[in-house]
Amino acid sequence: MRTNPRLRLAINVIVGILLGIFISQMLSGCSDDLPLAPAPSAGIAGEALTAPAPTTATASVTAPATVTTSVVSDTMPLPQTKERYHLSWDGKLEGDATRSLSCKETQCRYETHASVVGLASLSEISDFQWAHGQVEFQRYERTLQLLFKQVARIEKQADGSIRSERRGKVYQYAGKPGLVDILNIEVQLRADRLANRAPKASYPLADSKGISAISLHREADETLTVAGKARHSEVYVRQDGKRKTTLWLDPAQAFLPLQIIHQDGAETYRMVWLGDAAK
């Protein structure tokens, strides 16, 4: 039986809207409500994933290694590369993504571009200063292209305050030392681990309506099979409010994310590394 063209178009529009709303919630540092992160010492219970896993993961029998402090530098220690990822939404919708880091002296940009062909696309950009071994928040922007373009911005002003714009509303609030956004916290984590430093248990997060807390803790190491090879990875969980993100980082590649899973209730968004986009 042939599907009515109008019915097929309506279904695609509805699916696209749902996907766009979900992706914007999963990847955005611009939430409508300020999340309340748990205390840094509190553990976060793992949630079962309903989506079929494109990788094979087995828990390591060794506990996380003890880390030590080291000398910091104003030179960005991470490789400046562009990486390819496969993305899936609850195992039902598939797409592609790229993630890249670039720096000119101490001025850096970390960005993600993801899309499901014919339905939606999402871009996130974090501009920050790298100084004394730390990210210094400057600007975060998210652009969601669905039926129409939606842009959200969070930006540090000359006086140190933070100004945000989202859905036609403008917010302004006082800044805070050590402020991060939802993207550059990953750069900080990777740089800390590359320098054999233990990451902080929590960070102040620049959000749309103010500063909220985002927690970070390490779990047992695992081995993932990605890009045709078994790879040892360190596993970290970050959480802000209801949003939980698990990252599998490869110590052999400057702690490059091999897999990223965002969870919000029953919904799951997954990105799996495919390789260097330049190769």
User: Over the stretch 126-160, which tens digit does the pLDDT of each residue have?
Assistant: 999 999 999 999 999 999 988 889 999 999 999 99
Token output for 43: 């553990």
DSSP annotation of 34: -
Find, among 221, 247, 238, 258, the residue nearest to 61 by Cα: 221
Report which of residues 128 and 43 the model is more confident about: 128
Say if residue 9's pLDDT is above 80: no
Q: Which two tokens stand for residue 192?
A: 């800390």
276 pLDDT exceeds 90?
Answer: yes
Q: Is the distance from CB of 2 to CB of 127 less than 8 angstroms?
A: no
Q: Which of 178, 176, 276, 268 is nearest to 226 (CA)?
A: 276
The whole-angstrom separation of Cα 163 and Cα 154 is 6
Query: Per-residue pLDDT tens for 197-253?
Result: 999 999 999 998 999 999 999 999 999 999 999 999 999 999 988 889 999 999 999
Nearest to 60 by CA among 244, 200, 233: 233
Whether pLDDT at 66 is above 70: no
pLDDT of residue 264: 82
Instruction: State the pLDDT at residue 26.
Output: 44
Closest CA relative to residue 25, chosen from 203, 244, 238: 244
Q: Give the span between the Cα atoms of 42 and 201, in whole angstroms.
A: 10
**Tokens representing 148?**
């129409």
13: pLDDT strictly greater than 90: no
Instruction: Please determine, for residue 162, whether its predicted confidence score (pLDDT) is greater than 60.
Output: yes
Q: Of the given ranges (4-18, 89-103, 130-144, 259-273), which has the lowest mean pLDDT? A: 4-18
Residue that has been written with the tokens 């975060």 in this structure = 140
